[in-house]
Structure 1
Amino acid sequence: MAALAGFIALLTRINDAVFWVGRQLSWMAIGVMVLIILAQVFARYILNDALPWSEELARVLMLWLTGLMAPSAYRWGSFVAIDMFRDLLPRWPRAILTLCLFGISLIVLIVMTYYGWKHINSGWLFGSATLKIKLAWVYMALPVGFLMMISACVELIAKELHEALDPSVNYKSGDNAPEFIAE
């Protein structure tokens, strides 16, 4: 039990730090996107001369902010879920169901990471139309986000397992989700 608790503590600290950086970069990307879109509106409707690169850069930023923010949302349980049935179950069946669902999620995330890396390989062959960067840099948001989500999923599996094996442990009370998401 001590080894599991130590693993969870280490993984939680790593995820806290990495996901914090991802969230900060996401907020900056949103700010830059807003400025780019405002510049495009100004250029198109006031100057009557559209910026050729603005839409493409906004899309790149949107992909990256999603890849960097989704792991935190997954970790906080902020994705859409129907958990009414699960909450009605006794402790052990609930833990088994939750572990099975996390296991399925982990498999899907691993498969998606694999295909994300394959997609990057094709991206080295092509450049973006207006930004003149290799598309692999854009596509990299997929496996980076999926790898971070794998780390979150492993943390959630370990915490659920620890809670199932030791009823005195409650990780949900120490959840570090923002207040507007907390239950």
Structure 2
Amino acid sequence: MFHDSVAPTSAIDRVAFRLLKWLTLTCDVIGVLLLAGVLLMLVAAVAMRDVLGLGLPWTEEMASMLAIYAVGVGSLSAWVRGEHLAVDLFSHRLPKLARAVQFRLCAIISCGFFALAAWGAWLMAESSAYNRTVSLGISFSYLYYGILIGFAGMTVLSLWQALRGEVTWRSVADMNEEHPDA
């Protein structure tokens, strides 16, 4: 979405464009690092068990936590890019006004769902604060915080979409088609 896009001309859209570009890049880097950590934990556990005959029970808990956080931050990046699963049967056939209304309505419904899911993750984090993992002895709340990050972030993003409406960043290729001499 952003790699070949030109920043919009409106000041507020330019700020949003840069902020969302920074958010997706940051989430992508963090997600890749977290998934690399998961892979490293699993390889270390297998190598220690099979080569040295030593068990590392804490790696399973850490790999689970890292995977949850990777999904949480990755969902933000996917939401900004519009890469979550969507069923679009008739939107392209709607007139411009109806399409704008449909987009905002979907964003409002999504915002409500995400807010409810974030609230549920918060409640689960609070209720499991004194439950501890077996190997590391850390609170299960930290697992739910990864889910909370994802849903709270998508709540904010979908609220922005509902307020702003659909934004299509113009790619460099689109600009060149309009002005071939430029």
CA contact (8 A) 2:27 2:73 kept: yes
Give the structure 2 partner of residue 110 of structure 1. Answer: 115
Q: Where do residues 1-183 of structure 1 align in structure 2 (5 Å cutoff)?
A: 8-160=13-165, 171-173=168-170
Give the structure 2 partner of residue 167 of structure 1. Answer: none
Give the structure 1 partner of residue 6 of structure 2. Answer: none
Give the AA of the match of 1:93. A
Same amino acid, percent of matched pairs: 21
Give the structure 2 partner of residue 166 of structure 1. Answer: none
TM superposition shift of 1:13? 4.0
**Unmatched 5+ residue regions in structure 1?**
162-169, 176-183
Using a 3 Å threshold, how does the CA distance of structure 1 residues 153 and 6 change in structure 2: closer, same or farther? farther
Using a 3 Å threshold, how does the CA distance of structure 1 residues 141 and 82 change in structure 2: closer, same or farther? same
Mapped to 1, the partners of 2:156 and 2:20 lie a distance apart of 7
Q: How many residues align?
A: 163
TM superposition shift of 1:12? 4.4
TM superposition shift of 1:6? 5.4
Using a 3 Å threshold, how does the CA distance of structure 1 residues 6 and 99 change in structure 2: closer, same or farther? same
CA contact (8 A) 2:24 2:80 kept: no
Give the AA of the match of 1:142. I
What TM-score does the superposition give when structure 1 sets the normalisation length? 0.78
Mapped to 1, the partners of 2:162 and 2:92 lie a distance apart of 17
What TM-score does the superposition give when structure 2 sets the normalisation length? 0.78
What SS does the aligned partner of 1:173 have? coil
Give the AA of the match of 2:159. V
Deviates more, 1:35-44 or 1:9-18: 9-18
**Unmatched 5+ residue regions in structure 2?**
1-9, 173-182
TM superposition shift of 1:84? 3.5
Using a 3 Å threshold, how does the CA distance of structure 1 residues 32 and 159 change in structure 2: closer, same or farther? same
TM superposition shift of 1:158? 3.5
Runs of 4+ off more than 6 Å: none
**Cα RMSD over matched residues?**
2.2
